């Protein structure tokens, strides 16, 4: 990394945002008003290996890498250390160290939350944990949700703290056609829990973490300024979805998808039809929803009026997540498919619109 990178990064991170949050960030210029050619890209970091999530705490950027590392970029230094967990990580395919959220008091307490894959007996599983960062080491301190059904490919994995101060979690369907519709199973769901692992009293199903169900493999969570929760998820063969979440609602998988309808089930806010986006992380920049696409190899913005995704940029790489910072957009890539082998050879890229 170069001195120019560090100087650029410090300027870029001069502002502040709530740690661990996927709520809307400010953006002065509507992204829909820019053509693809209006954006320039610069590489802020390379040599990353399958980064899965990115958050910010003041001047610190914090990334997870699937194999188990937490990467911090701060004040011109890069620090990479493993998350110390009570059980070894399961890292085959798309499993591993996935989502991260920072507690609101992270700067003082070092408290954070992670979603990772492990093995429960002979069964693949996932869990949500609390962890502590002491300035050098990340260490798991408590298991908040355990034994979430896992899979080689379909684990969900996104976590974020909502505007209500609760932790939201996406889980995968594990290629089991019964679990997403089974309210006793945590697979194929959006979960909601308190930051100490309790079940909020106003959850839609008494005594349950389940907030919404009938999901396939959701990997995106974001709230707009009005508090609306959007979730992005992979379809079976095309028919990827952007869903506007209502507490307790059933989003249909695997009974319905696309334009299909059935009483008691919600149709998607938007779906990809015969195209495949393979959407992952999403975030609001101002009032505009940004959607990263793995198969779509780029970054997209929701045209809400026309219910369509419009391309922002296509870099020819699989884009995993996006973090708006002022008028700039930071994106991370995961260029190796979870079905592939070998290093992923990924980057952290800054997108800037010409002014």
Beta strands in 183-287 (DSSP E): 189-193, 210-213, 217-223, 229-234, 241-244, 270-271, 279-285
pLDDT for 297 beyond 60? yes
H helix or E strand, kind and range, residue 122: none
pLDDT score for 25: 60
pLDDT for 10 beyond 60? no
Give the tokens for residue 197: 């692992």
DSSP bridge partners of 155: none
Q: Which of 288-297, 313-322, 338-347 has the lowest mean pLDDT?
A: 338-347
pLDDT score for 13: 52
pLDDT score for 77: 78
pLDDT for 1 beyond 50? no
- The pLDDT confidence band at residue 7, using thresholds 50, 70 and 90, is very low
- The pLDDT confidence band at residue 8, using thresholds 50, 70 and 90, is very low
pLDDT score for 14: 46
Q: What percent of the chain has pLDDT over 70?
A: 92
Cβ atoms < 10 Å from Cβ of 46: 12
pLDDT for 355 beyond 90? no
Query: What is the C-alpha end-to-end distance of the chain, expressed in Å?
Result: 27
Summary mean pLDDT of the chain: 92
- The pLDDT confidence band at residue 74, using thresholds 50, 70 and 90, is confident
pLDDT for 198 beyond 80? yes
Q: Looking at the chain, how many residues does it have? A: 355
Q: Are 234 and 294 contacting, i.e. CB atoms less than 8 angstroms apart? A: no
pLDDT score for 49: 93
- The pLDDT confidence band at residue 342, using thresholds 50, 70 and 90, is confident
Q: SS3 of 5, please?
A: helix
pLDDT for 16 beyond 60? no
pLDDT for 17 beyond 60? no
pLDDT for 51 beyond 70? yes
- The pLDDT confidence band at residue 18, using thresholds 50, 70 and 90, is low
- The pLDDT confidence band at residue 28, using thresholds 50, 70 and 90, is low
- The pLDDT confidence band at residue 78, using thresholds 50, 70 and 90, is confident
pLDDT score for 24: 65
Query: What integer is the mean pLDDT of 189-208?
Result: 98
Which candidate, 51, 72, 70, places its Cα nearest to that of 9?
72
CA-to-CA distance for 323 and 346, rounded, in angstroms? 16
The string of pLDDT tens digits covering residues 246-272 is 999 999 999 999 999 999 999 999 999
Query: What integer is the mean pLDDT of 332-342?
Result: 92
Q: Where are the alpha helices (DSSP H) in the chain?
A: 3-12, 106-109
- The pLDDT confidence band at residue 76, using thresholds 50, 70 and 90, is low
Give the tokens for residue 245: 């979440």
pLDDT for 220 beyond 90? yes
Query: What integer is the mean pLDDT of 81-98?
Result: 97
H helix or E strand, kind and range, residue 106: helix 106-109
In order of their start, the domains of the chain are: 3-353 (2.120.10.30)
pLDDT score for 288: 97
């Amino acid at each position: 990394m170069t001195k120019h990178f560090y100087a650029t990064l410090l300027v870029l991170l001069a502002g502040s945002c709530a740690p661990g949050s996927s709520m809307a960030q400010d953006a002065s210029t509507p992204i829909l008003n820019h053509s693809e050619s209006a954006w320039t890209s610069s590489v802020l970091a390379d040599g990353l290996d399958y980064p899965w999530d990115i958050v910010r705490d003041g001047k610190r950027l914090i990334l997870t890498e699937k194999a188990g590392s937490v990467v911090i970029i701060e004040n011109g230094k890069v620090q990479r250390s493993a998350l110390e967990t009570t059980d070894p990580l399961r890292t085959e395919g798309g499993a591993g160290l996935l989502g991260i959220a920072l507690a609101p008091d992270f700067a003082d307490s070092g408290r954070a939350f992670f979603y990772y894959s492990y093995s429960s007996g002979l069964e693949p599983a996932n869990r949500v944990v609390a962890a502590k960062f002491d300035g050098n080491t990340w260490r798991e301190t408590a298991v908040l949700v355990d034994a979430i059904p896992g899979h080689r490919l379909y684990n969900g994995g996104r976590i974020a703290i909502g505007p209500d101060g609760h932790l939201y979690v996406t889980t995968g369907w594990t290629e089991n056609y019964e679990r997403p519709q089974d309210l006793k199973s945590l697979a194929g769901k959006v979960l909601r829990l308190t930051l100490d692992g309790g079940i909020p009293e106003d959850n839609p199903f008494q005594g349950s973490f389940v907030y919404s169900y009938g999901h396939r493999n959701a990997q995106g969570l974001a709230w707009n300024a009005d508090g609306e929760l959007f979730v992005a998820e992979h379809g079976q063969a095309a028919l990827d979805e952007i869903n506007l979440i209502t507490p307790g609602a059933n989003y249909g998988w695997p009974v319905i998808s696309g334009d299909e309808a059935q009483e008691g089930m919600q149709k998607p806010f938007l779906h990809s039809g015969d195209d495949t986006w393979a959407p992952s992380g999403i975030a609001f920049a101002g009032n505009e929803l940004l959607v990263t696409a793995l198969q779509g190899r780029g970054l997209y913005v929701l045209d809400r009026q026309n219910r369509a995704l419009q391309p922002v940029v296509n870099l020819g790489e699989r884009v995993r997540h996006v973090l708006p910072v002022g008028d700039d957009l930071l994106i991370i890539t995961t260029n190796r498919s979870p079905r592939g082998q070998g290093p992923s050879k990924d980057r952290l890229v800054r997108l800037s619109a010409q002014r």
